[in-house]
Structure formats: C-alpha cells, structure tokens
Structure 1
Amino acid sequence: MEDRYVKWLARHGHKSPSTRFKRTDDRFEIYKSNVQFIDAFNSQNHSFTLIDNKFADMTKKEFRELVMGSVKRENRNIGERGKIILANTSRVTQSPSVDWRRNGAVGPIKDQLECGSCWAFSVVAAIESFAQISTGSMPSLSEQQLVDCDTASSGCEGGYLNKAYEYVINTGGLTTSDDYPYIGSTAQCRGESNPAVTINGYTTIPSLDENELSNAVERQPVSVVIDSSGDEFRFYNGGVYECSGCDDETDHGVAVIGYEQDYWIIKNSWGDDWGEGGYMKMLRNTCDGRGTCGITEQGYFPY
C-alpha cells in the first residue's frame, strides 16, 4: 500500500485538491481507506469500475466541502423567457444512438477546480453546443462570468440552472473564457463585456420522463442535475454507472451530450483525468422514468 501511495503521489500529488487543506499527517491513512473501498468494489463484478484518482486522499466531507457546492433546487417556476417543451411521448422515430461529439458539437472537458460551480459548467456546456449547432463555430465561453455575476446564484457555493439561463438572456449573452478566464473562486463581477454568444430563451424538459429527455438530447446537449453523493461517483473510472437506489437527492450539474440504447453519455466538469476522459456512461431506462441518479428531475436546453 505504501508503494502504491508513492506512485499515486507521483501521478496526482501535485494537483490533488487536498493540498488546499493544512492537514497532511494522515493523508496516507485516508488514501488507504479509500483504496480498500475501491478494491473491494472492483472485486464484486459491477457494471462499472472505480480507480484511485486525484480525489483519493480526501475524506468524503472534505471532497464535498471543496468541490460540491451543489445545484440548488428550483421550484420549476420558469422565468419570463423560458418555456416548457410539449410532451412528445408518442414519437417512434427517435434515433437509437446520439453522440454530439461525433458532430463536433461538444467542447473540451473543463475543470471546475475547488469550487462548487458545476451549475455554471453545465449551462455553459449546453450553450457552447447550441452555438456550434446553430453557427458551425465552437466557442469556449466563460463560466467565471456566471460565477461572479449571476447574483441569483451563489458562485462557488452553488447555483440554479434555470436562473443561470435567465442571467445569460437578461445580460445579453456570455463572453469567451479568454476574455473572462476561469479562476476557480468567486470574485467581483467585471461587468458584461463583448458577448460572444447570445440565446433567446431556454426550454424546460418535463420532469420524470426519460423519453422526454431522449427527445431533447436528440435535438442538442442539455443541462441536467444528478445525484453525485456516492463515493462510487467520486472514484468512477469507466463502464455504465448506476446509483444504488432510485430515491436520489440531486446535487450536481452536468451536461447530457448523447445516449446509446442502455446508457446516457454525461459530460462532467472535474477534468479529463476523471472517468472516461472526463465523461461518464450512466444507466438508462430505469427507476420508472426518474432515471439513474435522478437525471430527469431538472433538464434545460437553450434556444
């Protein structure tokens, strides 16, 4: 185990989020406990595997404190510029497979760092894809602008997907990440300058219906919230992920950028050294429409 820890330090030690904490004397013990959990899980022949990634020397409490600012629960009272897409459950021509990466409509994986800004990354990912589908140009837009300037949300302490869309509409768009770079903390708003992409509104996907989510993802990538509270999610390595139950408390914003027959394709914001190059496969068609990890509870896409 000590040899394994030394190799882990060489690979991840310089960029582990745990360096933000002063305590260092028991990092090995925390790592050892997490590795024992990972190895035990991988010995049980699940549909996905775990790995001792860059979060492996952190306790669950530390991880949630540093990374999981959470998506705040909204009341489905959409804003003035939002609309609810009409139910379309009778469709029979739905594509069996969608992956917007094949169309060049998904931007590179980003890293929210030690900031609970997943809500901003979820919304920006969907808007970047919308811009590419609409114009053929793939921008890299500024999550930091949302973190600093969307006063309806709480920066690194969490935020609302729908209110982030409202901000983008009301302020006239988002600027690029080059113009307003990401720093991984909440700072004073620099003001809204030089919007690179504008949107007219956003669509709210009806809740608790995986077929409705499929219809939306066939159109374009969408912002959703999921339950990421389990250590299995934190240490996900590859395969088709599924939550342990169906009564999930959603807390994390991601983008759904495609699907296959048995799983959704999820774009996360924890860097390309998490999961399958920053992505996750998540079990589809389960939990009576609610979906794995509550994936159908909140869903939006821009127009």
Structure 2
Amino acid sequence: MEINKFILFTLSLVLILGVNVESFHYLEKELESEQGLQGLYDRWRSEHKVQAKGPERFNVFKYNVQRVHASNKQNKTYRSELNQFADLTHHEMLKTYTSNIEHYLALKGPHGPIKGSAPSGGGSIAGDASKLPKEVDWRNHNAVTPVKNQGQCGSCWAFAAVGAVEGINAIVTGQLVRLSEQQLLDCDNDGRNNACGGGLPCEAFQFIKDHGGLATEESYPYVGVRETCCFAKFGHHSVTLDGGWRLTINVESDLMDSLARQPVEIALDASGDFMFYKEGIFTGSCGTNINHSMLCVGYGETPEGQKYWIVKNSWGEGWGEKGYIRLVRGVEDPVGVCGMYQYATVPMKGPETRNIEL
C-alpha cells in the first residue's frame, strides 16, 4: 500500500511540474534562495558526473537556471531543461560543441556541385510538393544509426557527413553500417577541413570519393581529437561514394524533395534556447549564423497540424528527444528556423558503386 502511494505521489509530481520523467527537474522553491540553488547545483553535478566546481561555474549555472525557468514559463511549443551544458556560458558551449560553418563556406566561395551531376530527380530543382510523401522518417527504414556523441570537439561536420553517408549506403545496399568520423578528423586535413576546428560535410564527401571510401567505425574508432592519419585503413572495409551535392539555398521544398530519397546534412545556428532543448517542436529563439551541422532524417506533422523536421544531433542521447530535435517547418522566413535552409548537402552513391570488403 505504501509503495502504491509513493508511485501515485511521484506521478502526480511529474504531472504538476509538467516535465518528462527522464528530465532533470527541480522545484520552484529551490530557486528562492542561495541555499536552494546550491543544493540544485550539487544535484545537477551528481546527475551529470561533473567534477569541476567553483564560484564562477556556480554563477553560470544560476544564470542558466533563470534562462531555462523563464523559457518554460512561456507558452512555447517546446521545453528546455538543465542538461549537460548547464554550467557553460553560451560562448563556451558554441566554441566547444559547434563549428563555424560560415567561415568555411566563405573560404570555399560560391556554392555548386561538388563533383558530378545532381542526384536523380533533382537536387537543385525542387520537386512537386503535392507528389511527396506526407511524412518521412528514415529511422523506420533502417537507414539511420544510433545517436552518437562528438564529445568536447567541434566535429559536428564529420558526424553529420558520416550520418548522411551511412544513410545513402543503407538505402542503396540494404546494409546499415556505422562509419568512422575519426578517419575524417585524422585524414581530411589538407586545408579543406580542420578536425575539431570545424569543416564542411560537402568537402568530406569529396574526400571520401577521392580516397577510395570511408572506413567503418569498428576498424577506425572515434577518440575525439586529431591523431596521425592511418593511411593503411584506406581501401579496406570502406563505403564508397560518387561525390556529393549541395541543395539550393533557402528552398524548403528542395529539402523535402531530397529527404524523400535519403537523409540530408543540414547546418543551422545552435545559439539561444537550442543548447537547452528537451522536447517538443523548436521554434526558436536562435539566430541565422550557421555554426552547427546535423542530420535531417525526415519530416512530419502533429495531429494539430504543426509541421516539423526530424533532426539527429551528435551530442549524445541525453540531449533533446533521445538525441533528436524536431524543428518547426513551414515558417515565413526564407532561411528557415535558425537559418537551416542556408546550407544542406547530400552524398551521392549509385548501385554500381561497390563498397570494399563489406
């Protein structure tokens, strides 16, 4: 009987707070005093196994508590939480976990095909939206590997690129294989990409084509820092490509058209509420200075009619909806929410392009 009462009390508390049972939650009374905040900080550190502490880290935590609490008090379609980034400043988080995509785009110059022709059916020509599926989710077609974690390295570009390659390879061959981000960090460094310093997925696609494929994660595991390139891994247990293609800038229908065929790499601005996203359909706040690459794996619509994109991140399953975020679709801004329509790419692979030793 006592156990049943405890379970009912716990469920009631969750409903009252309006939080996910897997979230790190708090009571409002903990925010009313320095002692309460200190206790909340200690609980958060224990939950996320954070050893570092000090007056400055505590100040940052309190600042972020106010941000998250204020955001969740508003009538938004998404919720924020005190996740693994709660003791980081906005600047620290962006510096460590994102990549300055715009910097590398400027160095590359005006966009166009990486090499070869556009994918079948378009790629730079938007399809007829009325002929597209109402919803797409490549996770349901064995074309998306489990969520990965880039760690404290600005290698999002490599994870997004690898995710896209894993997707098209699974679609073409029927074989879902986890591939190596580390090989890109170590070897794709001839001035096009810069390991934890950032890079462009489109350049990674060309690198994979030029070097005879990308190794499996098992044969070339991730360590999260640039190490010496293992040239012996090229051409063994590798997935090959025909090149890549960049989608038309600021055309939502082009992204939908491409997603109907394969997962698509995108880039956006991960500032504002993005770092603390927990669940729901994210509508902002954020800017349009694209600095983070992710993998778009589909799109859908709620029963109420709100349209969204399904996007896989590389910050582990503890962030967002088990590592995913749903971004609002159909906004008036031509660049999309957080600028996500400014840069999107796909790898190209035909059925005749054989893998090596797989």
Give the alignment's TM-score, normalised by structure 1.
0.92
- Corresponding position of 2:136: 98
Shifted more, 93-102 versus 62-71: the winner is: 62-71
Match of 1:131? 169
Q: AA paired with 1:214?
A: M
Q: Which residue of 1 aligns with 2:245?
A: 203
The question of 1:57 aligning with 2:87 is answered: yes
Query: Is it true that 1:299 corresponds to 2:335 in the alignment?
Result: no
CA separation of 1:46/1:139 partners in 2, compared to 1, >3 Å: closer, same or farther? same
- Name the CA shift for 1:37/1:124 in 2 (closer, same or farther; >3 Å): same
2:199 is aligned, of 150, 153, 159, to: 159
SS at match of 1:238: strand
Aligned to 2:32: none
Which whole-Å CA distance do the structure 1 matches of 2:178 and 2:312 have between them?
A: 15
Return 188-197 or 152-161, whichever deviates more: 188-197
Where does residue 280 of structure 2 map in the other structure? Answer: 239
Which amino acid counterpart does residue 141 of structure 1 have in structure 2?
L
Other-structure match for 2:160? 122
- In structure 2, what residue type is equivalent to 1:60? H
- Whichever residue aligns with residue 224 of structure 2, its letter is G
> 1:148 is paired with a residue of what secondary structure?
helix
1:1-303 alignment to 2 at 5 Å?
1-14=37-50, 24-71=54-101, 72-73=104-105, 74=108, 75-81=110-116, 83=118, 85-151=123-189, 152-191=192-231, 192-193=233-234, 194-230=236-272, 232-244=273-285, 248-261=288-301, 262-303=307-348
> Which residue type is aligned with residue 322 of structure 2?
G
Alpha-carbon distance in structure 2 between the residues aligned to 1:196 and 1:239? 37
For the structure 1 residues 2 and 24, does the alpha-carbon distance in structure 2 shift closer, same or farther, using more than 3 Å as the test?
closer
Q: Could you tell me whether the CA contact under 8 Å between 1:173 and 1:198 is conserved in 2?
A: yes
**How far off is 1:91 after superposition?**
4.3
Q: Is the 8 A contact 1:70 1:118 kept in 2?
A: no
Q: C-alpha displacement at 1:13, in angstroms?
A: 2.6
Q: Which moved more, 1:104-113 or 1:197-206?
A: 197-206
1:78 Cα deviation from its structure 2 partner: 3.2
Q: SS in structure 1 opposite 2:140?
A: helix
- Bigger mean CA deviation after superposition, 80-89 or 265-274: 80-89
1-side partners of 2:329 and 2:179: how far apart?
29
Q: Counterpart amino acid of 1:158?
A: G
SS of residue in 2 equivalent to 1:182: coil
Structure 1: tracts of 5 or more residues without a match: none
Q: What's the secondary structure of 2:193's corresponding residue? A: coil
Could you tell me whether the CA contact under 8 Å between 1:116 and 1:158 is conserved in 2? yes
CA distance in 2, matches of 1:124, 1:201: 13
Query: 1:37 & 1:102 partners in 2: Cα distance?
Result: 35
Moved over 4 A (4+): none
Larger Rg: 2
Instruction: Report what 2:353 is aligned to.
Output: none
Aligned-residue sequence identity (percent) comes to 35
1:81–1:166 CA contact under 8 A, matched in 2 = no
Deviation string for 1:181-210 (max 9, x for gaps)?
111111221124314211112222111111
The one-letter amino acid paired with 2:266 is V
Q: Per-residue displacement from partner, 1:196-240 (whole Å, max 9, x unpaired)?
A: 21111222211111111001011110111111122x111100111
Alpha carbons of 1:287 and 1:249: their partners in 2 closer, same or farther (altered >3 Å)?
farther
Residues 1:279 and 1:223: Cα distance change in structure 2 (over 3 Å): same
| 3-state SS, counterpart of residue 254 of structure 1 | strand
Distance 1:283 1:82 in 2: 31
| Residues 195 and 171 (structure 1), Cα distance of their counterparts in 2 relative to 1, 3 Å cut | farther
Structure 2: 5+ residue stretches without partners: 1-36, 302-306, 349-358
Counterpart of 2:281, as a letter, is V
| Cα distance in 1 between the residues matched to 2:342 and 2:99 | 18
**Superimposed CA distance per residue, residues 249-298 of structure 1 (whole angstroms, 9 cap, x where no aligned partner):** 11110010000130000000000000000000000011343211111111
